[in-house]
Amino acid sequence: MESTKLVRLMGSALMRSMARYQSGLPKTSPEVQNLADITGIQKIHPIPKDPMHLFKSWFTHHSQLHQDSNLVANVMNVSTASKDGRVNSRSLILRRLDEDGFVIMTDNRSSKSQDLKDNPNAAFTFLWINNVDGLYLARQIRIAGKVIQLETSNWIDVYDSEPLFCKIRAYVCHQGQPVDWDTHKKNHDDLLAQFESGKHDLKRPDHVVAYKLLPTFMDFYESHGLKIADRLKYVRDSETSKNWDCSRIAA
Ligand SMILES: Cc1cc2nc3c(=O)[nH]c(=O)nc-3n(C[C@H](O)[C@H](O)[C@H](O)COP(=O)(O)O)c2cc1C
């Protein structure tokens, strides 16, 4: 297909999804509405000194909202960069929220692990959109900082509490490597049989590792309905500093 045609098609798909989005919102005609109902500026309130408190408050709120619709709030986008500066992004589960950072679990033979070995700087982004009081509450939290690998004893309970298929995956998947489906299925079934007969305990294999991002930057974005979003940017000099500098920035 011609690229201009494709762009036009994508544009109309975007318009349709915007129309669906708008249909849940108040009508925008100035004749029938008080203008204050169709524009304004959102205000994030209150503003805690520690952005981890704001993270927890928004995360808890959206976890509850998502629970009502059987969705999860703990999936985020994780960006890493290679030695030569090529950026790569993918979705990961937030495995644990600590006072000082965000814990993820992965395969240390993966490309993200290679990136993190070469360059410990990473960025995590959460996006939550829920209908609150008939209007879309959209929140984004961007987090950046250095990532450290955790000692196994610090997080082994996270692996141990994984469901069966995840433990089997840890053994049969060499993340990112080519697989033949039939061999893959056979490996799965063989391991399951070994587990069922008590011959395999599915204990954490060495290549399953956990990392923690220690934030030095956090950016909170909030909009609700037809309001201009509000943003708060928190920065600190180092991952051990208790002094976060907070400023309101334009959306
Ligand atoms: C909802 C969702 C959650 C995921 N959670 C994880 C996770 O916690 N750990 C992980 O290694 N991969 C997870 N993945 C797979 C990653 O997105 C990615 O495909 C994989 O980690 C390989 O990434 P890499 O090749 O960039 O290293 C998840 C994927 C989805 C769609």
At 174-187, the pLDDT tens digits run: 999 999 999 999 99
Query: Cβ(229) to ligand 1 under 6 A?
Result: no
What is the 8-class DSSP label of residue 93? E
Position in ligand 1 atom list of the atom nearest CA 175: 22
Ligand 1 pocket, 176 CB below 6 A?
yes
Which tokens belong to 2?
């011609």
Query: Quick one: which H or E segment has residue 199?
Result: none
Look at the chain and report how many structural domains it folds into.
2
Q: Identity (one letter) of the amino acid at 172?
A: V
State how far the Cα of 159 lies from the Cα of 211, in Å rounded to an integer: 13
Give the residue numbers spanning the domain of 61: 43-249
Reply yes or no on whether the pLDDT at 111 is more than 70.
yes
- Encode pLDDT of 188-210 as tens digits: 999 999 999 999 999 999 999 99
Task: Judge if 28 and 108 occupy the same domain.
Answer: no
Q: Find the 135 Cα to ligand 1 centroid distance in Å.
A: 31
Residue located nearest, by CA, to atom 19 of ligand 1: 90
Query: Following CA atoms 194, 200, 206, 212 in sequence, which dihedral angle do they give, to the nearest 10 degrees?
Result: 100
* 141 and 241 assigned to the same domain: yes
Mean pLDDT (whole number) for 60-89: 92
Do 27 and 58 sit in the same domain of this protein? no
Is the CB of residue 90 below 6 angstroms from any atom belonging to ligand 1? yes
Query: Is 243's pLDDT higher than 60?
Result: yes
What are the start-end ranges of the H helices in the chain? 3-23, 35-38, 51-68, 111-118, 152-160, 164-172, 181-196
The total number of residues written for the chain in this structure: 251
CA distance 123 to 143: 6
Q: Say if ligand 1 is within 6 A of residue 93 CB.
A: yes
Say whether pLDDT at 13 is over 50.
Answer: no
Same domain as 95, residue 1:
no
Same domain, 114 and 180: yes
Q: Do both 157 and 204 map to the same domain?
A: yes
10 Å CB burial of residue 116 (0-12, 13-18, 19+) is: buried
Here the CATH number for the domain that contains residue 208 is 2.30.110.10
Q: Are residues 28 and 86 in the same domain?
A: no
One domain for residues 67 and 26? no
**Within this chain, do residues 150 and 230 fall inside the same structural domain, yes or no?**
yes
- Do residues 19 and 48 both lie within one domain? no
| 52 pocket-lining for ligand 1 (C-beta < 6 Å) | no
pLDDT above 70: residue 250? yes
pLDDT tens digits, 18-54 = 444 544 555 555 565 688 888 999 999 999 999 999 9
On whether both 133 and 200 belong to a single domain, the answer is: yes
Whether residue 141 is found in the same domain as residue 31: no
